A = this chain, B = another copy of it.
């Protein structure tokens, strides 16, 4: 019997991190064949050349597709999506997958969803049903309406997908595959982990990072992209005033990313001697270990909400990007305000770390997803339940 062809499209660094254990499980599953398509910012140097990590992790790349248009505006985000559809249609036409898998809610994710659903290929969506209050939400729920199978990460997400009119039997709460990795990292902590030796980075000297440190990862918020520079400056000043060793990660590609990047670059030009080390990218398991040993994660990354809740790591979550996502006790929410950010960090520095939580699952999500993909009924026709 021939194996089911499962085509997964990776378009960005965070999607890959989040899905990795599911990719492993699909690859190993006796009834499945993995087709791995790498596209959009996952191919670009400016965003850490995710494809190199994918290869290093032992995956074969089936097809790669350059599809990101350059520009500092929303027009090019839209065009990138259109170009992605054009090209993924050709890719699917040639690969003939049995199921296509799309991940989360970044704008290019829609390319995968449209191409698969329009081509009558059963479509599985990972991480639908969540609520965040930004442009991603339009994308996320629209993809739910195009998808045939829903692998959600929490009970709240499951209920929301069903409310959106999806057949309950097509919605599976497997927990988030990103938790699988957190579980692995916790069970296999590296003894002599040295991020600067591993990744270089630029900025403050290595010696500073022997003791306590902070981690910052802050992305621009798409619908407010003109304010991206102002936002990032609030955080930069808070960190500057705390004057504590800090690892800082550059943002992903996004309509407003250049606002954020410009802000960081300008700040560096005008502030010599800051105790900050900048990284472009880091392999997920290293990133999680870095967080595990940190005092606090600051910014608006979903890692703060998701993996950090499972790991019990303190988080200061800034602004609207993670608004309304379910969260554990490990998160203090603040606005784009230097004082608020500083106070929240200091609160965590003075407290004992929060209790771990399993609202986003307790591991093994990758295996559950692969197993379900291997025996789910193939279908691409559905109707709203009300």
Binding site for B on A (CB under 8 A): 43-46, 63-79, 81-87, 89-90, 92-94, 107, 110-111, 114-115, 117-120, 131-135, 137-139, 141-146, 160, 163-165, 202, 223, 253, 258, 269, 323-324, 380-384, 386
Contacts and interface: CB of A to CB of B under 8 A. Distances in A.
A228 to B, nearest CB: 14
A90 B66 contact: yes
Contacts of A46: 70
Contacts of A79: 66, 85-86, 89-90
A384 B131 contact: yes
Contacts of A89: 66, 75-76, 78-79, 82
Copies of this chain held together in the complex? 4
Contacts of A86: 79, 82-83, 86-87
A254 to B, nearest CB: 12
B90 A85 contact: no
Contact of A146 (B118, B138, B381): B138
Contacts of A133: 383
10 contacts: A45-B72, A66-B73, A68-B69, A75-B90, A75-B93, A81-B82, A81-B114, A83-B86, A86-B86, A164-B165
Contact of A83 (B71, B82, B163, B164): B82
Contact of A82 (B114, B202, B253, B384): B114
B118 A77 contact: yes
A137 B384 contact: yes
